[in-house]
Structure 1
Amino acid sequence: MRLASCRTRRRTRLRAAVLVACGVPALLAPCTAASGAAAATGPGQPPGLGGDGVVTVTTRGIGAPGNPAVGVVPFTDAVYRTCADAPQTAQGCQMIGGVPYAYEIGRLEVTVEQWVAFLNTADPTGRDPHDLYDDTESASAWPRYGQIDFSAGAGPGRHYSVAYPQWAAKPYGFSTFLRAARFVNALQNGRVLSRTTSADGPSRTVTYRVALSPRTERGMYDLARRAPTRTRATGFVVPSQNEWIKAAYYDPAGGGTYSYWKYPTNAGVFGDGDATAPNPTVLTPATGDVTNAADQPLASYHASGKPAPAWCPGQVSPEDCTTVNPIGLDPVSYPKLYQGSLSTVGQAGTPSPWGTLDQGGNAVEWTDTVTPPPAGQNGARVWRRLHGGVSNAEAFQMWPSAVGLQPQDNDFYNHTYPWLGFRIGVIGGMGAGA
């Protein structure tokens, strides 16, 4: 949603002040100042396109229904058979990962190219009535992270475009939960042109080719509701916390601890800090492609003592890459706070126990699980769980205990945090012609 310049300047000063106080990698462990600011201001081969408004979504089947859950104390280096076995702390304990039914989850995160196809379908006039876009996302406003450009003078259904070709197969990084829900509704209300299935390793791969619908306000989620939840037993969804965690960490072959891996890339060892964390990706400086795919296991995150995976479109000058930002940060603070960059989806190449990619690192991902607000916050906003770490954060945010949360419409992070993504889930099965 395009904003008046005076409003933009006021909000920019607030964002800059809070970023300096809190830093940006800590999305999953909210900073008090950031939360307060948000409340005050309001929050491999990639899947391709098959023509205007047609997207291809590839999922992995997640079986073993009724798998056991494990207990976690938020952001601690352990899992427990039950919460009765966990230490009693002020953080409490959560049982996570158990899912009583089979389902599917996206093999990869939703890409910029897919999101642009959705924008042009859902907002053909470019008026953006549902806040699906902001100028912060443009290459002119944010040369290093701007993924999508907007042209007011373009024809109907042509207002949005991928900023630079290198962004097409990167995860869309400016999502709120409400944006993700509207994308899902466009899939749900669309037409499945084809559905193909193939066996692959411990699971199956399902590929959907879907003509998106412009109807975004009702479908799987009713956006007229304050806290939209699933309205149907069959169709496309934003994965729940348990669905997401099971696909990332639960090993049906019994590996790990209580059948749960420490990272979505490898079993690791609980209790050893980041000693058994995956290797960090190294990216081609001008394209964001992964150059060290042989260094398995691998994930796009900021490993301790190493540079964060980073790139900037080759069409942008080095000075603009390192200084120009829409937040008003000075040239010293900006490169310190914004280090990591999103890598091309799937190129890290390390699968979860079910064959998904990039659930560890790259973009942190929304789930549709509603959760109580953190201590000190009132119930004025709807909070949801997120998972997966991020290219600008350390290894602990890839642990199953990283049960982070944010408001579903967090204006602050929506405009200052370019690593917020999501992937698609499927429940109940979908067929061609649905």
Structure 2
Amino acid sequence: MHFVSSRTRLSRAVVATCGVSALLLAASATAGPGAAAAGPDGPGGDPSRGGAVITVTTAEVGAPGNPSVGVVPFTDAIYPSCADAQQTSSGCQTVGGVRYPYEIGQLEVTVEQWVAFLNTVDPEGRNRLDLYDEPESSSAWPKYGQINLSAGAGNGHHYSVAFPEWADKPYGFANFLRAARFVNSLYNGRLISKQSSSNGDFDYVTYRVRLSSRTERGMYDLARRNATRAHDSGFVVPSQDEWIKAAYYDPNGGGTYSYWKYPTNPGVFGDGDATAPNPTVLNPTTGDVTNAANQPLASYHASGQPAPSWCPAQLQPVACSTVNPIGLDPLTYADLYQGSLSTVGQAETTSPWGTLDQGGNAVEWTDTITAPPTGRNSARVWRRLHGGVSNAPAFQMWPSAVGLQPQDNVFYNHTYPWLGIRIGVIGDLGLGKS
């Protein structure tokens, strides 16, 4: 499944199976590690005190002012500029150039980190901010359900990781508004510690942050539906250019025009998937990567091979292969939902800047606003996404895979379990308030 053709197939399947309510969802779609929780604050308290503490590590991305390249969406080529690109109805985009140093998450935001965030910002479990949907539960969706909501739990404990194996997988049910609220919680939180480190050619920064319950303003003012960055320093959702530079731009000049074809290896533009990374093989009951020695490596659905997949050991395999919240019959379900998310970082293949899993696993949001695919004015805000998916072919990992979605797509909230988040940092964060 990817953001071009399979969305339509899925929409049709859901409509045929689920009736009028699904039709409304489909129409909406086509129109457009590690956290240790502490008790959240009660009303009126300091919103950064008592929240969960999470640890995030970022990769430093330098070479400010690097050249951009031209891409024609979903084609197997890059160009020195759009003036050199082939002329198609899809047009050309200039991507990848960033004039300032910044940081980007080494890993995707995990389920454990997201649960810590949920229990901080929604300690009563009332879901007023629409940060959770029933398909995310292990009972509604055994194969993909990452998080359970318990009405009877105590304050600050209503949300829990569905099974331990999910804790270190990417959170997969994000929309942009959820990603922005997570970033606002980081931005408004308290930066407890900051430590720099290096590993070979790569430089990293590790932050420990006590999350804040304040989510509506911070880096993004969500009172504005087309919210953009409100500050010059702090945690962010990466922009399209920041994301692409971290994934593909080689400061040592490798690849083509200094850009790799995949976030895992330079590849060869124009050869289809011949130089694509190897696909991961997962432990069938834990989702851990078992073939990390087979480099370069990414979690995606390689042509002619099974998609990386697993089912929690606590469940019967038949539940994972048949039970779904959309009401799809087993054959249609098996066709549309094959790939599963793997444990973050275990593919072990780095981008030119030391990030992991920018190729495959979960597709990731950026904060870049774009025109809707029709090119016409729309009441909805559309944003760019990148990264490939464990359920999609190799071309979804190309720099030209400039996907887009409405920032608040309800249809995908209920049907697409591979939408992830990777945080970024701009400016220089000091200890105390971030």
TM-score scaled by structure 2?
0.91
Pair 1:92 & 2:91 matched? yes
1:48 counterpart residue number:
34
Q: Name the amino acid aligned to 2:216.
A: E
Q: Is the 2:14–2:326 contact (alpha carbons within 8 Å) kept by the matching residues of 1?
A: no
Q: Is the 1:50–1:56 contact (alpha carbons within 8 Å) kept by the matching residues of 2?
A: no
Q: Is the 2:247–2:352 contact (alpha carbons within 8 Å) kept by the matching residues of 1?
A: yes
2:11 counterpart residue number:
18
- In structure 2, C-alpha distance between the alignment counterparts of 1:226 and 1:258, rounded to whole Å: 37
- In structure 2, C-alpha distance between the alignment counterparts of 1:376 and 1:101, rounded to whole Å: 30
Q: Is the 2:36–2:116 contact (alpha carbons within 8 Å) kept by the matching residues of 1?
A: no
Q: Name the amino acid aligned to 1:393.
A: A
Considering only aligned residues, what root-mean-square deviation do their CA atoms show, in Å? 1.9
- In structure 1, C-alpha distance between the alignment counterparts of 2:339 and 2:373, rounded to whole Å: 27
> What aligned pairs does 1:268-417 form with structure 2 within 5 A after superposition?
268-375=267-374, 378-417=377-416
> What aligned pairs does 1:17-416 form with structure 2 within 5 A after superposition?
18-20=11-13, 36-38=27-29, 47-52=33-38, 53-375=52-374, 378-416=377-415
Q: Is the 2:184–2:214 contact (alpha carbons within 8 Å) kept by the matching residues of 1?
A: yes
- In structure 2, C-alpha distance between the alignment counterparts of 1:50 and 1:107, rounded to whole Å: 20
1:3 counterpart residue number:
none
Percent identity of the aligned residues?
73
- In structure 2, C-alpha distance between the alignment counterparts of 1:106 and 1:249, rounded to whole Å: 15
- In structure 2, C-alpha distance between the alignment counterparts of 1:18 and 1:386, rounded to whole Å: 20
Q: Name the amino acid aligned to 2:196.
A: T
The superposition leaves residues 386-434 of structure 1 with CA deviations (integer Å, 9 ceiling, x where unpaired) of: 0000000000000000000000000111110000001010000212213
Q: Name the amino acid aligned to 2:388.
A: G
Question: Tell me, which stretches of 5 or more residues in structure 1 are unaligned?
Answer: 1-13, 24-32
2:20 counterpart residue number:
none
TM-score scaled by structure 1?
0.91
The superposition leaves residues 210-231 of structure 1 with CA deviations (integer Å, 9 ceiling, x where unpaired) of: 0000000000001110111100
Question: Tell me, which stretches of 5 or more residues in structure 2 are unaligned?
Answer: 1-6, 17-23, 39-51
Q: CA deviation at 1:20?
A: 2.6
Rate the CA distance shift 1:19–1:420 in 2: closer, same or farther, 3 A.
Answer: farther
Q: Is the 1:15–1:412 contact (alpha carbons within 8 Å) kept by the matching residues of 2?
A: no
The superposition leaves residues 108-148 of structure 1 with CA deviations (integer Å, 9 ceiling, x where unpaired) of: 00000000000000001111111000111000000010000
1:30 counterpart residue number:
none
Q: Is the 1:170–1:343 contact (alpha carbons within 8 Å) kept by the matching residues of 2?
A: yes
- In structure 2, C-alpha distance between the alignment counterparts of 1:295 and 1:212, rounded to whole Å: 38
Q: CA deviation at 1:19?
A: 4.9
- In structure 1, C-alpha distance between the alignment counterparts of 2:249 and 2:11, rounded to whole Å: 37
- In structure 2, C-alpha distance between the alignment counterparts of 1:211 and 1:18, rounded to whole Å: 40
- In structure 1, C-alpha distance between the alignment counterparts of 2:15 and 2:319, rounded to whole Å: 24
- In structure 2, C-alpha distance between the alignment counterparts of 1:397 and 1:363, rounded to whole Å: 11
Q: CA deviation at 1:92?
A: 0.5
Moved over 6 A (4+): 14-17
Q: Is the 1:63–1:203 contact (alpha carbons within 8 Å) kept by the matching residues of 2?
A: no
Rate the CA distance shift 1:310–1:19 in 2: closer, same or farther, 3 A.
Answer: farther
Q: Is the 1:15–1:416 contact (alpha carbons within 8 Å) kept by the matching residues of 2?
A: no
The superposition leaves residues 356-377 of structure 1 with CA deviations (integer Å, 9 ceiling, x where unpaired) of: 0000000000000000000266
Q: CA deviation at 1:16?
A: 9.2
Q: Name the amino acid aligned to 2:27.
A: G
| Greater alpha carbon shift after TM alignment, 163-172 vs 326-335 | 326-335
Q: Name the amino acid aligned to 1:93.
A: C
- In structure 1, C-alpha distance between the alignment counterparts of 2:12 and 2:292, rounded to whole Å: 33
